Copies of this chain bind each other. A is one copy, B any other.
Amino acid sequence: MLLTELNPILQPAGKQHTSGDFSADELALANRNSGTLLETLQNDITPTGAHYLLNHFDIPYVADSTDWTLSLQGLFDNPVSLSLTDLQALPVISRTVTLECAGNGRRHVTPRWPSQPWSVEAVGTAQWTGTSLRNVLQCAGIKSTCKELIFHGTDRGVDGGEVHNFARSLTPDNALHDHVMLAWQMNGIDLPPQHGYPLRLIVPGWYGMASVKWLSQIEAIDHHFNGYQQVKTYVYRESESDIGTPVTHMRVKSLMVPPGIPDWSSRKRLVGPGTMTLQGRAWSGAGVPIQRVEVGIDDVWHDATLQQGDSAYGWCGWQFDWLATRGKHTVCCRATDANHQTQPLAPPWDTAGFGNNAIHRVEVWCDDF
């Protein structure tokens, strides 16, 4: 069968923007991919297993990492194959990194592109342990003719009628950035299979698609990589005909721990009257500190207190004491980073719903429940 015949079979109705209720395909993606439970924003590190998860294809089954190799191919002076043992003999580093899915917030971008319909929950912070990618690249020696490095995962599937392994590229400059790492542990244990066991690239500051899981090959090439996950998706486009801008770093953003207690099915929030501490997290992919978090109570903004973390690419905490009075309230949070980037009140437009960093709004009912 020709690949061009695949799309009409896999998606007989085609893909087009939509609004309102969610299709069975969107629901299947939501059941499969999992968001961080917002109440775990109380933790500096997202509990293992509660970190958001977005996998395009199936998790490759790796019973044992003994035979895993990372092969460096193409424009290297010394193209090598490294085992996990080889990598683990290099200087070990641990870094706290916040990762967010580029499609986080997609369901609020109107009209909506039918894909994983995240609300706000596709973010998490983990401590990753591994070695600097730079160590490996410098040993292999990137030739001066190299324009990009492709990071190939072993996960394989179809998107847009193209069968491919998940793969993403970085320029040598970006790949040699001090914070980029090859990780084999998450929060002190071997990577869980769903997070890339046994080896994963971590690109701090970038949306999650750059942090390629199940990494098996780094290929140095003398041109721009035109793989599906590099040029067909993960591109900001204003219209279908727009050539667009690649999705790279995470936009500044904040989330709150939803106050009070939830209703099971509507997830609306109930609180009692009195003073309570609102809290949450804020982050920016720019590698600069969060300078300000504001809390909006019924459209009046107040400054929150910040607790800076110790990592340039990990989120920071914030809190604000709120005197809740009886009635319905809308509670929001908005972060601004040291580059003066801040969050918009409404979702930015993008054809595929990428990079939605609009403020987080929670509806709260206050009474003696």
Contact = CB atoms under 8 A, between A and B. Distances in A.
Interface of A: 1, 3, 6, 9-11, 15, 20-35, 37, 39-40, 42-43, 47-51, 53, 55-59, 61, 107, 114-115, 117-119, 121, 156-159, 163, 189, 192-195, 258, 261-268, 270, 326, 365, 367-369
A157 B261 CA distance: 5
Contacts of A39: 58-59, 61
A25 B267 contact: yes
A193 B268 contact: no
Given A20-B21, A59-B37, A117 B27 contact: yes
A33 to B, nearest CB: 8
Contact of A270 (B117, B163, B368): B163
Contacts of A26: 22, 27
A261 B60 CA distance: 10
A331 to B, nearest CB: 16
Nearest to A193: B47
B261 A28 contact: no
Contacts of A266: 10-11, 25
A264 B194 contact: no
16 contacts: A1-B367, A6-B369, A11-B266, A22-B22, A31-B121, A47-B192, A49-B49, A50-B59, A50-B192, A50-B193, A57-B262, A58-B261, A157-B261, A157-B262, A159-B263, A163-B261
